[in-house]
Amino acid sequence: MKHSRLLAACCVIFTLAFATAELRAQDSTVGGFILRMFNLAPAQTARPAVVIERATTEVQPVQVAGEAEGTGNFETTHTDQSLISLKDNEGNAATLHTFCLAKNGNVLAGCGSPGAGEIRMFTPDGKYLETWSLPVLPEAINTDPEGNVLVAGEGKLVQLSAQGKQMLIKDAPHVASMQDNREQLREQLKQQYKARANSYAQTLEIYQRQIEMLEEKAKEGELSDAEKSRLEIYKRARTSLEGFVAKQKEEGEPELSDAQLDAQLSSLMSSRSKVASISATDTEVFLACNMSVGYGYQVYRLDRQFENPVSIIKDLRGCCGQMDVQANANGVFVAENSRHRVAHFDREGETVGAWGSRDRTGEKGFTSCCNPMNVCFGPNQSVYTAESTTGLIKQFDKQGKLLNYVATVKLVPGCKKVSIAVSPSGDSVYMMDITRHHIVKLSRPAGDSADANEETAAGGE
């Protein structure tokens, strides 16, 4: 009985997905509601098909973005752009997941696939140097103050020397926490399934109201072609739902079998084992990851040996699997993209401050559905932010005062990781283009200086 119900539910979901895909173009309110209700909306990380242009291992010039879509026409400090492809000396390409700068300025690109992770090293100008093999797929990468390389991936934390030698590997703290909370996660899955199944009746009511409205309108006059099409879509979806709702009432409360629950729990724990970001201060490591139970993100503080974990920040809101958290002597800075802000905490997780808001132009706040997506540190204790879709990079002081519009990078639109890194002088800024699997290098025009640009920005406030 359970299997027949599950099969019927799959058929209904398929019908709803097809119907709402058509409805979204005609009736965004109803279509969008149904998509959200049943988690049928395409993942925001989904991107349109693009031709990935692989460059040689040398840096290649790319077109300057100019005025990015959805942003103002900003005067930026870094107008010279070039790209670093990921090919090695044999011309082998790689899939880019994350990157950072080594202490000596070299570019470390985290690449590979599950079970075959690697770091490819390039000079600051994009010349390939060497490849280090990793025991995990790199999801996040950074360096500590001594120049050691920290890698997080597949539920593991790895420390490498500056020469790529593995020094340490341990389980990420949230993985153990999930194991301790297996029963809570299992119950969460049960409740989610019941809520989704029981909401079919509510959806049926919505379709019925829309059908009645259109049929009443048809009595008063001719419907447009779009309205006729929408009416037929509603009726098809209603028919599918009516049968399922009737069967559900007959069979009682929906539930998953133990085998189905075990499979879903395994998938959930694997997905939640991912690490969003890792960073280190002189004495501690900070890790951003999923909440062990429930929703949202949390930040762990560990010692430099990946021991003594403490969850210091909880319930951060991030979109599309992204939550960039970077720490330095001034505290912990979070690109809390779903709240359109940079949040500043101390090492204990106490709030120090925050800045930012949603802003269509990006002039004062942050653009798109969920930005800033990434954050990093620059000269004079400054904080840089990066925005997906628009490719806008900004520089702030540690209190959140805007210092400069740094650059706009032409990206394939979409909600995604756009990690950035800044050279110690601030003359070079790097942004990851995860769709095209390369890293964009941004430079100041010849003759410009950081001091001159900061004075100009300060005078314009």
Task: Flag whether 52 is in a domain.
Answer: no
10 and 120: one domain? no
User: Which of 216, 236, 267 is the endpoint of a domain?
Assistant: 267
Indicate whether 167 and 196 sit together in one domain. no
CA 214, CA 234: separation in Å to the nearest integer?
10
Tell me how far apart the alpha carbons of residues 41 and 55 are, in angstroms, rounded to a whole number. 34
In a domain, 55, yes or no: no
Please check whether residue 250 lies inside any domain of the structure: yes
One domain for residues 285 and 145 = yes
Same domain, 80 and 209: no
Q: Total domain count for the chain?
A: 2
* Domain identity same for 101 and 230: no
What does the alpha-carbon distance between residue 379 and residue 366 come to, in Å, rounded to a whole number? 22
Instruction: Mark which of 207, 233, 267 sits at the end of a domain.
Output: 267
Query: CB of 380 within 8 A of CB of 396?
Result: no
| CA terminus-to-terminus distance, the chain | 67
Asked whether residue 297 falls in the same domain as residue 204, the answer is no
Residues 15 and 85 in one domain: no
pLDDT of residue 245: 73
Domain boundary, last residue among 244, 267, 290: 267
Residue with tokens 């909880």: 314
HEC profile of the chain: CHHHHHHHHHHHHHHHHHHHHHHHHHCHHHHHHHHHHCCCCCCCCCCCCCCCCCCCCCCEECCCCCCCCCCCCCCCCCCEEEEECCCCCCCCCCCEEEEEECCCCCEEEEEEECCEEEEEEECCCCCEEEEEECCCCCCEEEECCCCCEEEEECCEEEEECCCCCEEEEEECHHHHHHHHCHHHHHHHHHHHHHHHHHHHHHHHHHHHHHHHHHHHHHHHCCCCHHHHHHHHHHHHHHHHHHHHHHHHHHHCCCCCCHHHHHHHHHHHHHHHCCEEEEEECCCEEEEEEECCCCCCEEEEEEECCCCCCEEEEEEECCCCCCCEEEEECCEEEEEEHHHCEEEEECCCCCEEEEECCECCCCCCCECCCCCCCEEEECHHHCEEEECCCCCEEEEECCCCCEEEEEEECCCCCCCCCCCEEECCCCCEEEEEECCCCEEEEEECCCCCCHHHHHHHHHHCC
pTM: 0.72
Query: What's residue 248's pLDDT?
Result: 66
236 lies in which domain range? 2-42+180-267
Residue 385 lies inside a defined structural domain of this protein? yes
Same domain membership, residue 327 and residue 215? no
Residues 240 and 316 in one domain: no
Exposure string for 299-309, b = 16+ CB within 10 A, e = fewer: bbbbebebeeb
Does 53 fall in a domain? no
Q: What is the mean pLDDT of each run of 10 residues along the chain (461 residues)?
A: 50 52 47 44 34 35 40 82 94 96 98 93 97 97 98 96 98 84 75 73 85 89 89 89 74 70 73 91 96 87 98 92 95 96 98 94 86 97 96 96 95 92 97 96 83 41 30
CATH number at residue 327: 2.120.10.30
Strands 156-160 and 96-101 come out as unpaired
Sorted by sequence, the CB contacts under 8 Å of residue 329 that are 6+ apart come out as 281, 282
Q: Which residue in this structure is represented by tokens 């696939």?
A: 113
Measuring CA to CA, which residue among 280, 282, 273, 301 is closest to residue 100? 280
Q: Give a yes or no: residue 109 inside a domain.
A: yes
- The answer as to whether 50 is a domain residue is no
Residues 414 and 299 in one domain: yes
pLDDT confidence of residue 121 = 98
> Does 423 share its domain with 385?
yes
Examine residue 137 and state whether it is found in any structural domain, yes or no. yes
251 and 322 both lie in a single domain: no
Residue for token pair 């359970």: 2
